[in-house]
Amino acid sequence: MIWEVFRQQQEGDNFVHCRDVHAPDREMAKQFAVIQHGRRKPTTALWVAPQEKIAHVAPGMDIEPADGGDETAWTVFRQDRAGGYHTECGELDATGVAEAKQAALDTFTDDDPHSLWVVETEYIGEVTADDVNFGGTTNKSYRFAQTYNVDPAAQEVEASESEQIEAEKQRGEM
């Protein structure tokens, strides 16, 4: 099963789509998301949503008739630019996917021709900094070459240590 991953860089920021992971269930998807998308860049939270539960809609698209049901919360993501990533832009309440698509178009498009994704909020799994210790950069010390010419290796060690210190500062560990 494919899970789309959304990353929040700083608390209060919108979640931005950052690719996907393959996992059999939500818990594994959250773990894989942390490993693949939460270790290199500053991250405060990740969302995962099953790709099959994300509905795509764009201005001018025909929307199937309303399907009814109980009103639920939906999260909406707007594409940044043609071919770009989708960024969280808000929530709405709707009784089904068709109504959610129409409400998203009415609420979040204006003159913006880019596509929208809508997903029922209950399908989104969240991982926060309270759950895991996100990285910020990867420790590259395993790559240090053992050589007679120590200057390049020393420069790489110094650069990596600086990156680690900066990442720890951003995470508030220093």
Structural domain of 75? 2-128
pTM (2 d.p.): 0.75
Q: Are residues 156 and 77 in the same domain?
A: no
Q: Are residues 59 and 81 in the same domain?
A: yes
55-105 per-position pLDDT tens digit: 999 888 888 877 677 899 999 999 987 677 899 999 999 999 999 999 999
Q: Are residues 102 and 148 in the same domain?
A: no
Q: Are residues 162 and 82 in the same domain?
A: no
State the pLDDT at residue 152.
64
Residue 48 lies in a domain: yes
Three-state DSSP string of the chain: CEEEEEEECCCCCCCEEEEEEECCCHHHHHHHHHHHHCCCCCCCEEEEEEHHHEEEECCCCCCCCCCCCCCEEEEEEEECCCCCCEEEEEEEEECCHHHHHHHHHHHHCCCCCCCEEEEEHHHCEEEECCCCCCCCCCCCHHHCCCCCCHHHHHHHHHHHHHHHHHHHHHCCCC
Q: How many domains does the chain have?
A: 2
State the pLDDT at residue 63.
85
Residue 133 lies in a domain: no
- Average pLDDT along the chain: 85
